[in-house]
Amino acid sequence: MRSEPRHSRTLRPSAEHVVAPLDETPLGAVDAVDTTSAPRSMWAEAGRSLIRNPVFVISAVLILIILVIAAFPSLFTSQDPNYGDITASNQPPSGEHPFGTTRQGYDVLARVLYGTRTSVMVGFFTMILATLIGGILGALAGYVGGIFDAVLSRITDIFFAIPLILGAIVIANRADSMNVPMVILVLGVFGWTNVARIMRGSVISVKNQDFVTASTALGANPVINLVKHVVPNAIAPVIVTATVNLGVYIVAEATLSFLGVGLPSASVSWGGDISDAQPALRTQPMMLFYPSMALAITVLSFIMLGDAVRDALDPKARKR
């Protein structure tokens, strides 16, 4: 006996397909798209992500405190960091000297607080200088390409092969005198290579995007195209790198001062105080602890800030 084709079979009454009434399935409200509000930009989305990130909040609060101390150290102590009373040498913590005094009679708390200004100033302006040099060279190399890119890339490789601290030591030993502007210049000259590489790669990936091609087709000037369209969309990874590098430059300045080739002894510096505290490491270890802890907290804050900014500006990191 032949069976009927499957498509000719009728559904049983119990297997009828039932569709719910439209008023019971209000999908319109779910699928509706708000077309009245403007779309958020990448920076707006990054700002929302940063506010919700506890790492960013903690690092931002720490950096704010550090900046207040650097700008107004006299609000936290009445002692002169450059006044040494030899009769008050190596005193333990007291009401007059909460962190004690050094072998030369300097107030440790005042030295730590005023040293914040020097370290933050060197780190911030070095970051600005290195970002400008590396950002400009990297953007030009990535956008122009060709022989120009090859020449700038080889120059970058030459500077990249020179360690930051080693190059700074060589220049510092040849200089007549070292001060804050000189340290900033030396660190900036050898610290721009990483920024240049990142900027070059980011510009190469952005310059082939459709909106850049459309701007070129409409007759946009190459310089205007680079400044208005390419750089703003390629600068996000550079901001992350610059934020992390700020902590690196603070450590570099402290290292140079620790080795005696950075800021002069008359300047208040964490690196210089760490170097001066070495002889009393066994008898008074806290003299070394306080400037070292201030340096560690400052560098850690900027590294945490850089990680939070990277997670906010990197779409792949946000998905993870």
Q: Mean of the pLDDT values across residues 59-78?
A: 92
Contact 73, 116 (CB under 8 A): yes
Q: Which residue has the higher pLDDT, 48 or 58?
A: 58
Confidence (pLDDT) at 43: 66
Confidence (pLDDT) at 24: 56
Q: Which helix (H) or strand (E) holds 78?
A: none
Whether pLDDT at 250 is above 70: yes
Q: Residue 112's pLDDT band (boundaries 50, 70, 90)?
A: very high
DSSP 145: -
Confidence (pLDDT) at 20: 56
Whether pLDDT at 31 is above 60: no
Span 261-282, pLDDT tens digits:
888 877 888 988 888 888 877 8
Contact 168, 186 (CB under 8 A): yes
Confidence (pLDDT) at 299: 92
- Which of 85, 96, 74, 113 is CA-nearest to residue 290? 113
Span 125-183, pLDDT tens digits:
999 999 999 999 999 999 988 899 999 989 998 998 888 888 888 888 887 778 888 99
Domain ranges of the chain: 117-320
What distances in angstroms separate CA 122 from CA 22, 167, 260, 271, one per listed residue? 67, 17, 16, 12
Superfamily the domain 117-320 falls into: MetI-like (1.10.3720.10)
Contact 91, 222 (CB under 8 A): no
Whether pLDDT at 85 is above 90: no
Whether pLDDT at 40 is above 90: no
Q: Which helix (H) or strand (E) holds 128?
A: helix 108-144
Beta carbons within 8 Å of 298's beta carbon, 6+ residues apart: 66, 116, 119, 120, 247, 250
Confidence (pLDDT) at 195: 92
Whether pLDDT at 47 is above 70: yes
Instruction: Find residue 107's DSSP bridge partners.
Output: 101
Span 180-236, pLDDT tens digits:
889 999 999 999 999 999 999 999 988 888 888 888 788 778 888 888 888 888 888
Confidence (pLDDT) at 64: 94
Q: What pTM value is reported for the model?
A: 0.79
Confidence (pLDDT) at 280: 78
Confidence (pLDDT) at 58: 93
